[in-house]
Structure 1
Amino acid sequence: MMVTESVPAARATRESGKQTRMALFNAATELFLEHGDSVSIAQICTAAGAHPNQVTYYYGSKEKLFVEVACAAVLRAGKRAEVDAADADTVGDYTEKLVGSLLGSGAPSVELFVEAMMMTGRRGELRDLISETLRTLHSSGETALLRTLIRTGWQLRAGIDVESKAFWSAIFGLVIQKTATGESFGYSLEEAVAVIFATLQIPDAVLNSSME
């Protein structure tokens, strides 16, 4: 006679699995943000109180875990930037706070995502995660830009989706330069903001417009 697992036991097993998966994700997030993808599976498992084979079981590979962590991190950074810029008085101030957040406290998360994007060039099976995250970033950017347009009457030079992509492309470009040059990275926040302004071609009249 076949013995089946009881419902409570099955539920407990699923819950234990969720907790292990989350523990691995949280440990990997902390380690990847600090050390990048040089972190080993053993280090992640030690921090999570898990076993190496559980990384494979729940995530398939360390690379997939890295990309999942990076995607979640950049989405959090994007939301945090919107919160940080919410009390801006003018469009110019809003943009400065947005960029300052992404290149300041949010920089490790953005850098991690850039690293993940580079990784998918070698691991095509991971591209869907990156593509979905980019779509979410661009969609959020479109929403924020639309709110600005409604408030100021700014006429775009291109479609709103193109402008949103231009913003994030500029952010990623600045982060790539910072990652590549390290201490020699020459952009101050003011210069980084100027790059964004130039990329989006926001006129002074709009920059000085009230966000009220």
Structure 2
Amino acid sequence: MSVAEIANAAGVFPNQVTYYFGSKDSLLVHAAFLGLLHDARRIERIGRQAPDAATFRRNIARAVLAMPSLPSVARALAAGISKPELAPVVDQHLQLLFRQSERFVSRLIDGRGWRARRPLDVEARTFWSTALGAVLLVRAGAHGTVADLDLAGALTIHDEPEPG
């Protein structure tokens, strides 16, 4: 699909697309991460419904690996690797995802008296790095599927008291 076709479908001029997004590839990165952030909001609803931390970890892991946006985000990550000019766009969106996730988990654990065994910024980065890494491996042809990953094990959120 060309920039002209994208612009036509959006009802704008092609130069408006390139002015705001820089390139078609940059637009695709933005669109992929917009889908991911939208999916992440739905995942938050699933997380809020969990009655305990173990259910939270299990439900979040299952839901994230089934997110429809992950394949396009995997392509966006690959684009950021192959086209260095896209790396800042990818990084900007990853930082937004990490901050959004950290805020969500912070509100959740504060409200429920849960705890995490590591700082929440590390918790968010570790979780999403594991999920996105699994998708990249599968998309690159690694044997297995994302279901072969214990993504819930990447979360250290618990509702039991701190050990002695």
TM-score between both structures, scaled by the size of structure 1: 0.61
Q: Aligned equivalents of 2:60 and 2:85: distance in 1?
A: 32
| Structure 2, unaligned runs of 5 or more | none
Larger radius of gyration: 1
Aligned length: 160
1:84 matched to 2:43? The reply is: no
Secondary structure in 2 matching 1:181: coil
Secondary structure in 2 matching 1:197: helix
**Cα distance, 1:142–1:48 mapped onto 2, change above 3 Å:** closer
More helix per residue: 1
Partner of 2:154: 199
- Letter of the aligned partner of 1:99 in structure 2? A
Q: Aligned equivalents of 2:18 and 2:100: distance in 1?
A: 32
Q: Aligned equivalents of 1:120 and 1:98: distance in 2?
A: 26
Secondary structure in 1 matching 2:141: helix
Percent identity, aligned pairs only?
A: 28
Contact 1:80 1:101 in 2 (8 A): no
Partner of 1:125: 85
- Letter of the aligned partner of 2:136 in structure 1? I
Q: Aligned equivalents of 2:15 and 2:152: distance in 1?
A: 48
| Structure 1, unaligned runs of 5 or more | 1-38, 207-212
1:154 matched to 2:115? The reply is: yes
**Cα distance, 1:141–1:52 mapped onto 2, change above 3 Å:** closer
2:138 pairs, out of 178, 182, 189, with 178
TM-superposed deviation, 1:174: 1.9
TM-superposed deviation, 1:83: 1.7
**Cα distance, 1:49–1:141 mapped onto 2, change above 3 Å:** closer
Secondary structure in 2 matching 1:121: helix
Q: Which has the higher contact order (CA 8 A, sep 6+)?
A: 2
Contact 2:28 2:76 in 1 (8 A): yes
